[in-house]
């Protein structure tokens, strides 16, 4: 099992901030708020780079041999997918107090497991201009891809495997397996990178932030992993993880 905390890495934020570093941080975020008037997505843009750079540093510490490209893409896809559910949950269930049954289409299986579907989750995942899918496919197109994966087929497969052992297992070519399954990436890493997202943008922009981090990952891996395959890895992780019950992990 891939465990990012199998080695003692210390606090992810480093040593306790000095008074000087706290002041610099405050000045930075005050400037960031002013910049939002010119660029409403500036927080998501900068936050995506922060998430990506922290993840790269974490993976370097875990494996001194280098970055495993498929695992990097799988992690980013996992975080991007779940951020779609998490953002809706934060904005409507937590902040507005709406029942989750009015927000999500909840599928309950015989074993008691639950999965969260619905248009509200799908919009930041695949339907909006800045959805995870749009951002990922956009950078793949920019890198020269002429074709795209069948995202509807990915949704069909995820729906068909709900409640089975195959749910959330990416279908990837031989030799391109991930270091672990997406649900374990989510369990270990969502609590690490959620505070970063909260620092840079409101809940409604979390999928944009993580979608832009996906763009960083696909570009970073372009000489190692064909961008079209990278897109497949990302979405094979993102779609099922947008539906999963985090509390069950």
More confident residue, 13 or 150: 150
pTM for the structure as a whole: 0.89
Two tokens, residue 97:
């107090």
- 2 pLDDT more than 80: no
| Cα–Cα distances in angstroms (integers) from residue 86 to residues 13, 100, 160, in the given order | 23, 12, 23
Query: What is the per-residue DSSP string for the chain?
Result: ---TTSS----TT-SPPPHHHHHHHHHHHHHHHHHTTT-TTHHHHHHHHHHHHHHHHHHHHH-TT---HHHHHHHHHHHHHHHHHHHHIIIIIITT---HHHHSEEEE-TTS-EEEESHHHHIIIIISTT-HHHHHHHHHHHTT------HHHHHHHHHHHTTSTTTT-----TT---SS-HHHHHHHHHHHHHHHHHHHS-GGGHHHHHHHHHHHHHHHTTTTS-HHHHHHHHHHHHHHHTT--GGG-
Question: What are the structural domain ranges in the chain?
Answer: 45-248
Please give the average per-residue pLDDT across 127-137, as a whole number. Answer: 97
- pLDDT tens-digit map of 136-191: 999 999 999 988 899 999 999 999 999 999 999 999 999 999 999 999 999 999 99
> Tens digit of pLDDT for each residue in 86-128?
999 999 999 999 999 999 999 999 989 999 999 999 999 999 9
Helix 42-62 × helix 182-200 angle, to 10°:
140
Backbone phi and psi for residue 106, each to the nearest 5 degrees, phi listed first: -95, 120
């Amino acid at each position: 099992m891939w465990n990012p905390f199998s080695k003692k890495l210390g606090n992810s934020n480093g040593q306790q901030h000095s008074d000087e570093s706290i002041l610099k941080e405050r000045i930075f975020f005050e400037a960031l708020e002013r910049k939002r008037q010119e660029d409403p997505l500036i927080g998501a843009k900068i936050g995506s780079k922060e998430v990506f750079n922290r993840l790269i540093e974490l993976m370097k510490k875990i494996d001194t041999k280098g970055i495993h490209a498929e695992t990097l893409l799988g992690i980013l896809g996992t975080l991007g997918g779940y951020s779609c559910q998490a953002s809706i949950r934060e904005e409507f269930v937590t902040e507005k107090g709406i029942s989750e049954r009015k927000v999500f289409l909840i599928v309950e299986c015989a074993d008691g497991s639950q999965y969260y579907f619905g248009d509200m989750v799908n919009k930041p995942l695949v339907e909006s201009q800045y959805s995870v899918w749009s951002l990922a496919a956009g950078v793949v197109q920019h890198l020269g891809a002429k074709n795209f994966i069948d995202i509807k087929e990915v949704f069909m497969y995820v729906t068909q495997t709900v409640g089975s052992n195959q749910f959330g297992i990416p279908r990837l070519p031989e030799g391109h397996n991930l270091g672990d399954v997406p649900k374990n990436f989510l369990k270990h890493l969502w609590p690490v990178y959620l505070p970063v997202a909260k620092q840079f943008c409101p809940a409604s922009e979390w999928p944009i932030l993580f979608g832009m981090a996906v763009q960083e990952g696909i570009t970073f891996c372009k000489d190692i992993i064909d961008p079209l395959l990278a897109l497949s890895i990302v979405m094979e992780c993102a779609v099922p993880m947008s539906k999963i019950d985090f509390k069950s992990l």
